[in-house]
Amino acid sequence: MTRWENYLSTAEEIILVYDGELPLHHFLKGFFKQRPFMGSRDRRWVSQLVYHYYRLGHLWKDERAVPERILKGTFLCESSANELLQFFRPEWNEKIQLPLAEKLSILSFDGDVKDIFPLLSLISEDIDADKFAYSFFTQPYLFIRTRNKKQGAVIKLLEAANTTFTAVSNDAIALSNSTKIDTIITDKSWYEIQDLSSQKVGNLFHAKAGETWWDCCAASGGKSIMLMDKEPGVKLLVSDVRSSILQNLHQRFKEANIRSYEDVILDLTSPVTNSPVADRRFDQIILDAPCTGSGTWGRSPENLYYFSEESIDTYQDLQKRIAENVVQLLKPGGSLIYITCSVFKKENEEVVQYIEEKTGLKKQEGGVITGYEEKADSMFAVRLTKV
């Protein structure tokens, strides 16, 4: 068996046993750990083939021959000559640099993008359905946000390491997803790994020194670090339902040299009036709500493959409950910044409408943040004010 046949066979083996319960990158890590004889190049090739398979979304999902679907995915997702494709489908490899639309035509695709993303009727209206669906064939960039006016120094280190990059703005840099950024920039206070669309959410953070801010679903704290970089004089409270996540936040804050903040473990599905912060009132609340994560599926395409539509309603109910709960602690004139990394209108515009109707808050600015034209995630972020 040739090297290429072995790679294709191993990728098929993974796909046939993988059930979507674990994130694919975790599953692959465990799979390769049990096969120490596979070198880094072998692991890289096999992983790429598996991701090519899932990047097709639901396109040809009923294809009985898994290897054939892997090869189609490779043809569509790659843009330069591919040795494995040359071995199995040299006629495709010769045309691999053609535009995506022409390659799809070669594979007799009829142009119905619902075959890729069958839930397009459920996405927010400001999202271009075709561009969003086709974006699954492209691996998003790794984005970093430079801090403390270190962009120039970071760029010098990237250039010295012969690393390909694009400076997107004064503090955002796009890199290949495989870039080992921590080996190039060893001082973690110089940058944060943060998707470009997530960085744009910061445009809604109109912070003033002395204001009280609550990042109520803080997770690992990326939005809070961005807030503190914009206005270090705010008084910050972070909370999450999981103590382990807050431990990760503490480590990340330490690396970012952020020391002045409070933290508390809170289950925001329970009445906030019975919580340790019941007597507090905040100028601004960041609600980065639990969601389907559908705007990030370009990084984890297995989620589209295994996704159940019923989950959208489950998340919407959770988002409504949390939002209605936390706004009780908002000062008059204060703002709620509602954020999801979802593309579904049930999690986005419909939740904002619910917040307005139930709480009296009014939308001031924001909406969909489309990332598909910049190889970034797509998100939704709105600022609502308590009038």
Which residue numbers are catalytic?
Answer: 341
The DSSP element (H or E) to which 303 belongs, if any, is: helix 302-306
Are the CB atoms for 49 and 75 separated by under 8 Å?
Answer: no
Q: How far apart (Å, rounded) are the C-alpha atoms in residues 138 and 174?
A: 14
Cα distance between residue 13 and residue 8, in whole Å: 9
For residue 306, what is the DSSP state?
H
Phi, psi (degrees; rounded to nearest 5) at 175: -135, 165
Whether 110 has a binding-site annotation, put simply, is: no
Query: Per the annotation, does 240 bind a ligand?
Result: yes
- Is 19 assigned a ligand-binding role in the annotation? no
DSSP letters spanning 34-64: T-TTS-HHHHHHHHHHHHHHHHTTTTTTT-S
DSSP E strand stretches across 122-201: 142-146, 165-167, 172-175, 191-193
Q: Under a CB-based contact definition with an 8 Å cutoff, are residues 281 and 329 in contact? A: yes
Cα–Cα distance list, 219 to 31, 59, 242, 295, 313 (Å)? 28, 34, 8, 17, 22
Q: What is the DSSP code (8-state) at residue 262?
A: E
Residue type, 204: L
Task: Quote the CA–CA distance of 66 and 280 in Å, as a whole number.
Answer: 56
Annotated binding site: which residue ranges?
240, 267, 288
Annotated binding site for S-adenosyl-L-methionine: which residue ranges?
240, 267, 288
